[in-house]
A and B are shown apart, each in its own frame.
Chain A
């Protein structure tokens, strides 16, 4: 008895918060790509997918129901006592994610530069061939 109610409760919870499920799926796809794909460029793409999954997580926890964009309109600027906090989406998580996106593209650039340098040495992007070349 206890098991079935706990099970259905979890299912309801899962469906109501399906944004977290999507985030975990995206993160796991990125992680799988970084570990299991043999091609270096695919690993870099997997890293970028992981990063966008994390950004989606932060943005989705900052979203509020029927909330507007966090930019104050002209009417509110003039009489600043008319600000209702729950009218605006959470700006703090968006700021952290702005930083995260830019740092992500910087990391992607460095990863691609390293991949190019590796290609210059071994003339392949495939991981197994690189390891074989190194062992010789």
Chain B
């Protein structure tokens, strides 16, 4: 995969670089699945190889696609290469202190983790160790990560969004190539195929969110697949088609509501008398004993995460693809 990384950096045409970057993400996903990290591989396949590549392609689509090669500047690149090689050698010199690859008794694997592996099923009734630690034992991290996605969505929105009144005056002066107009008879096959596939994608994504307790999956992966289904709708039909059904105001409100759901579950735990995000206290309103209440709490939290991630991906795509104008686009 080192080869893939080098190739994606050296291709002149930016579209080609984006596609090779997608291939590099797929290779990394396969390597991680081989090392036993299936949740991470699932997320990387959905996020890195799917949505990241679409973002880069949308950005390039609105701007120029080639990279004019400038003569000279080789000395600078060579100098940076030397600096980087020295930094790499410095990092490699610490190699002898590292534990061996695959050692079960290394400090990473032997101190905190056995508690999680042995006690997570008794505490939370969730066989997927990754989901139980992610949403229950380390729930604060996941809350703040969802907030980070939300903030990124708002940041992109505030960087790029232009109101339509202003855009009419400076449209001829800007160097943006206007995308070709949409001709409905062009993409009949693509439209029909995507019309067939999108409901199944959404069904599978809901299954991934709900089944995250027992199989690889959970909130992020399902949310990204749901967002990708809406992005597919935007790509195969026109962007205006998506905007007619999902207005901008409702998109932004739904992004916020996912974070709100997560924080509200934590607050409900405080109201019932426990600590923030301690789901075990909720066993008086949720069915089952304390461990089942933790399992249900994890499910609610994952739903909140899924909602935020889904609409965040859609909003970022719309902003990137239409350059903030929300009218034409990919």
- Direct touch of chains A and B (CB < 8 A): yes
Footprint of B on A, CB under 8 Å? 10, 13-14, 16-17, 19-22, 24-33, 35-39, 41-42, 44-46, 48-49, 52, 55-56, 59-65, 67-74, 76-77, 80, 83, 85-86, 88-95, 97-99, 101-110, 112-117, 119-120, 123-126, 128
Compute how far the CA of A119 lies from the CA of B64 in the bound complex, rounded to whole angstroms: 9
Contact (Cβ within 8 A) B129 A91: yes
Which of B28-36, B179-187, B200-208, B246-254 sits within the interface? B28-36
Which of B6, B63, B149, B220 has the most chain A CB within a 10 Å cutoff?
B63
Shortest CB-to-CB span from B242 to chain A, Å, is 18
Would you call the interface of chain B mostly helix, strand, loop, or mixed? helix
Known: A16-B100, A89-B36, A105-B51. A64 touches B109 (CB 8 A): yes
CB distance from A136 to the nearest CB of B (A): 16
- In the complex, chain B residues 74-107 whose Cβ is within 8 Å of any chain A Cβ: 76-77, 80-81, 83-85, 87-88, 91-92, 95-96, 98-104, 106
- A sample of 7 inter-chain contacts (CB < 8 A) reads A29-B6, A64-B103, A65-B102, A88-B117, A103-B148, A113-B156, A126-B68
Interface residue ranges, B against A (CB under 8 Å) = 1-2, 5-6, 8-9, 14, 17-18, 21, 24-25, 28, 31-32, 35-40, 43-44, 47-48, 51-52, 55-56, 59-60, 62-64, 67-68, 70, 73, 76-77, 80-81, 83-85, 87-88, 91-92, 95-96, 98-104, 106, 108-109, 112-114, 116-118, 121-122, 127-130, 133-134, 138, 141-142, 145, 148-149, 151-153, 155-156, 159-160, 174-176, 214-216, 220, 309, 312, 316, 319-320, 323
* Residues of chain B lying within 8 A (CB to CB) of residue A39: 14, 67
Main secondary structure of the interface of A (DSSP, over half): helix
Task: Judge whether A113 and B159 touch: CB under 8 Å.
Answer: yes
Do the beta carbons of B113 and A92 come within 8 Å of each other? yes
Does B36 contact A42, Cβ atoms closer than 8 Å?
no
**A42 contacts B17, CB within 8 Å?**
yes
| Contact indicator A113/B36 (Cβ below 8 Å) | no
Query: Across the two chains, which residue of chain A brings its CB closest to B42?
Result: A98
Name B159's contact: one of A19, A55, A70, A117 (CB within 8 Å): A117
Set of chain B residues within 8 Å of A65, measured between Cβ atoms = 102-104
Judge whether A24 and B142 touch: CB under 8 Å.
no
What is the bound-complex CA distance between A41 and B47, given in angstroms?
Answer: 18
B101 engages A19 (CB within 8 Å): yes
Given A32-B80, A107-B152, the answer on whether A116 and B108 have CB atoms closer than 8 Å is no
Q: Is the CB of A25 within 8 A of B37?
A: no
- Tell me, rounded to whole Å, the shortest Cβ–Cβ distance linking A101 to chain B: 5
Q: Give bound CA distance, A30 to B127, whole Å.
A: 37
Indicate whether A45 sits within 8 Å of B17 (C-beta atoms), given known contacts A29-B9, A86-B104, A116-B59.
yes
Residue contact A71 to B17, C-beta cutoff 8 Å = no
